[in-house]
Structure 1
Amino acid sequence: MTTRRSLTLVAALSVGLVLSTSTSALTWSALDLGTFGGSTLDGPATGINASEQVVGTAFTPSAHAFITGPNGVGMTDLGTLGGSFSRATSVNAFGQVVGYATTLNGDSHAFITGPNGVGMTDLGTLGGSSSNANGINASGQVVGIATTLNGDSHAFITGPNGIGMTDLGTLGGSSSIARGINSSGQVVGSAQTGNAFHAFITGPNGVGMTDLGTLGGSSSNANGINASGQVIGTVRTLSGDSHAFITGPNGIGMTDLGTLGSSSVTIAYGINSFGQVVGTAYSTFSGNGPPPGPLGPRHAFITGPNGVGMTDLNSLLTLPGRGWNYFHTAVRQ
């Protein structure tokens, strides 16, 4: 009997896949999530919860957010806020989905659904015309970015079940964006310090904003956080390269996760409760002739606990023959 680990990845380029590994042996499998009848999803599947409900965006033929049932089975169209477009970005343990969708007048607003993707509620803005939701925790606190009355873009957090929207401010500049939140309401993202953007972490329920700094370069971005406050993202090094990073609990310290093989760029997108990190690695293209992609071929990676080691997921799985050339990854908590 195969037992699923607490780690499951979502990956998609031209189709959606759920990847899983057993505890007894590192054997990987892939599940095609399908589409709404079109030939492709609109970008990668973007989130997964403990029941392996997957969220993302697929063409209807318009691009609409979707959620699957447990174990990635079935695909339900979440609709829009009156416009033609929606995109799902994250899902919590109860199947509450967040993302953004166009309204009847064409503005893009953040949304939250009820459990299992039922219903779509407009979260509004910070006084401006637009907002995007990027993350949600188990209590339904939502984080993202919204325009203010004066036109600036600021990170926000809501209360449970998306009630209310609070401006998280910046690190001294005019802009910020929130990308992740944990069960304590600690928020991560990036904020303008003046001439550059730095990764930040807040205290519980979004209180306070701490600059996580860089690894000698000019900028950093935080993309995810786990229950203990370990933060992951990407950072500029002293040499100017972009590398994935991980911090200790509550954002203390920043460790360079390095690169994968001959890759020059790594980006961390997700982290689970064990500190296992997933992300993407690629090389900037140079030379004559057409490249395999705009920045060369991309490979998904996974690390061991606390970010130790980096393994190429492409080497562990044979993908369907549908024009695949890279992974984008999300990790189940």
Structure 2
Amino acid sequence: MRRPTLIWLATLCFAWGIGMRGQAQSFTWVDLQELTVHRLTGVSANGGVVVGVVRDEQGRSRAFRWTVWEGQQELGTLGGLRSQALAVSADGRVVVGMAENGYGHTRAFRWTAETGMEDLGTLGGLESEALAVAANGQVVVGTAEDAYGRFRAFRWTVNQGMTDLGTLGGSESEALAVSADGRVVVGMAEDARGRRRAFRWTAETGMEDLGTLGGDWSQALAVSADGRVVVGMAEDARGRRRAFRWTAETGMEDLGTLGGWDSKAVWVSEDGSVIVGVAQDKEGVWRTFHWQTGKMRVLRKVYNGLLSRGSMFWGAPVVSYNGRYMAGTGYNAAHDRVEVFLLDAAGLLMAMN
């Protein structure tokens, strides 16, 4: 596996340093082909750590962690051939994801520099996946197979190990996000009719069905730091997939689109006021959006001064817990190719109206 080029490291170190000292926005493009990056899945609160999935020379997926200070590090496996890093703690020290063990089974893992890759086990079955981690790295959530072969949402802690969060009356569920303190878990679970519905779970209330926008299914993909605001995607009465924002007071609200048919919300700010996701425009092209105070905008317009003419974001970027840093892929018009980017918003994400 090739390490990042010295030019790339120097550029990002410089951008990161300026952002930390001067509180100025910065945007850095990185050559995607040069890094063999397949997918980015997380960025730390200070922008100094990025995690995701790379492809090795045989095309196998491998979990990686990149830091400003040490460059790219492959995290290995649990004895198998493949692994994926799917989330990172706020300080960048804890990485979670899934990796194959020596028997070829996919298992949830938690990685630190001190412990290496730790197998989190299952709920009695053979496989599991860690999909999110609390800001402090002490709570991990995901999905795991039970003794009956059903995949169930789980919550894992150092003291209690892996706990089955149940369902909404059906057979299966998966936990997709967790609040900063680890007390609120959101995701998707089957109800008694087999419909997949967005849920919000706490130890006090258990699993709560968040409903839909008039259709049959919904999926909760992110939750605010305090657990009060949930965002994701739900079917409406016309069969469209729409981004939603949910609170106990308002219920599920349709965030709309950029003029097209479908949308999906994938990140929400600490206070729940800002949302990032992807939505179709009137030509049906998927664009990354920024939503605040009822208004959805193309993300490129929010950061118009930092992007060169013709450049654009592709897909939904990963955003740090505090909303300052974003990492993802996009089209760099200057180089006429797809590249990885690291954006230091320096408060701009929260300040837009």
TM range (shorter): 0.7 to 0.9
Residue in structure 2 matched with residue 298 of structure 1 by the alignment: 286
- Residues 135 and 142 in structure 1, CA contact (< 8 A), matched pair in contact too: yes
CA distance in 1, matches of 2:145, 2:309: 41
Deviations 1:17-37 (CA, angstroms, capped at 9, x unpaired): x999989999651342767xx
Change (3 A) 1:319 1:68: farther
Evaluate the alpha carbon distance shift between residue 70 and residue 181 of structure 1 in structure 2; reply closer, same or farther with a 3 A threshold.
Answer: farther
2-structure distance, mates of 1:63, 1:312: 31
Distance in structure 2 (CA, Å) of the matches to 1:31 and 1:224: 26
Q: Does 1:49 align with 2:44?
A: yes
Look up the match of 1:195. Answer: 194
Any conservation in 2 of the 1:110–1:132 contact (CA below 8 Å)? yes
Structure with greater proportional strand content:
2
CA drift of 1:141 comes to: 0.6
Output the CA distance in 2 between the equivalents of 1:175 and 1:284.
36
**What count of residue pairs does the alignment treat as equivalent?**
296
Alpha-carbon distance, 1:105 to partner: 0.9
The question of 1:277 aligning with 2:275 is answered yes
SS in 2 for 1:79: coil
- Residue deviations 1:132-161 (CA, integer Å, cap 9, x gap): 111111142110001111111100001148
Unpaired stretches in structure 2, ≥5 consecutive residues: 1-7, 322-353
Determine the structure 2 residue equivalent to 1:146: 144
Structure 2 CA distance for partners of 1:82 and 1:297, relative to 1, 3 Å: farther
Tell me the equivalent position of 1:80.
Answer: 77
Q: Post-superposition shift, 1:327?
A: 2.5
Kindly state the Cα deviation for residue 129 of structure 1 after the two structures are TM-superposed. Answer: 1.1
- Measured in 2, the distance between the counterparts of 1:302 and 1:240 equals 23
1:310 aligns with 2:308: no
- Matched AA of 2:291: T
Distance across 2 between alignment mates of 1:178 and 1:113 = 19
Give the Cα separation in 1 of the matches to 2:152 and 2:141: 11
Could you tell me how far apart the structure 2 residues matched to 1:28 and 1:85 are? 34
Flag the 1:320–1:328 CA change in 2: closer, same or farther, 3 A.
farther
The structure 2 residue matched to 1:253, chosen from 248, 251, 254, is 251
Distance 2:182 2:100 in 1: 30
Determine the C-alpha separation between the residues in 2 that align with 1:117 and 1:321: 44
Confirm whether residue 331 of structure 1 aligns to residue 326 of structure 2: no
- Alpha-carbon deviations, 1:86-136, whole Å to 9, x = none? 10111112320000011111000000012x586100111111111011111
The CA deviation at 1:216 is 1.1
Match of 1:238 in 2: 237
Alignment partner of 1:216 out of 214, 217, 222: 214
Q: Which whole-Å CA distance do the structure 2 matches of 1:189 and 1:47 have between them? A: 18
- Taking the TM superposition and a 5 Å limit, the aligned residue runs for 1:37-186 are 40-42=36-38, 44-52=39-47, 53-61=49-57, 62-70=60-68, 74-94=71-91, 95-114=93-112, 119-137=116-134, 138-160=136-158, 164-182=161-179, 183-186=181-184
Percent sequence identity is 35
Q: Distance in 2 between matches of 1:46 and 1:319?
A: 25
1:233–1:267 Cα contact (<8 Å) kept: yes
Residues 125 and 145 in structure 2, CA contact (< 8 A), matched pair in contact too: yes
* CA shift for structure 1 position 41: 1.5
- Using the TM superposition, give the Cα deviation of residue 228 of structure 1 relative to its aligned residue in structure 2, in angstroms: 2.5
Whether the aligned pair in 2 keeps the contact of 1:212 and 1:251 (CA below 8 Å) is no
Q: Distance in 2 between matches of 1:210 and 1:134?
A: 20
How far, CA to CA, are the matches of 2:308 and 2:61 in structure 1?
24
RMSD: 3.3
How far apart, in 1, do the equivalents of 2:262 and 2:152 lie? 27
Give the AA of the match of 1:247: W
Displacement of 1:75 in angstroms is 1.5
Q: With structure 1 as the length reference, what TM-score do the two structures score? A: 0.79
* Change over 3 Å in CA distance of 1:181–1:278 after alignment to 2: same
Give, in whole Å, the separation in 2 of the partners of 1:232 and 1:325: 21
Q: Distance between the aligned counterparts of 2:176 and 2:107, measured in 1?
A: 16
Summarize the Cα distance change of 1:257–1:117 in structure 2 as closer, same or farther, 3 Å threshold: farther
Matched residues in 1 for 2:298 and 2:308: separation? Answer: 14
For 1:77, the aligned partner's letter is: E
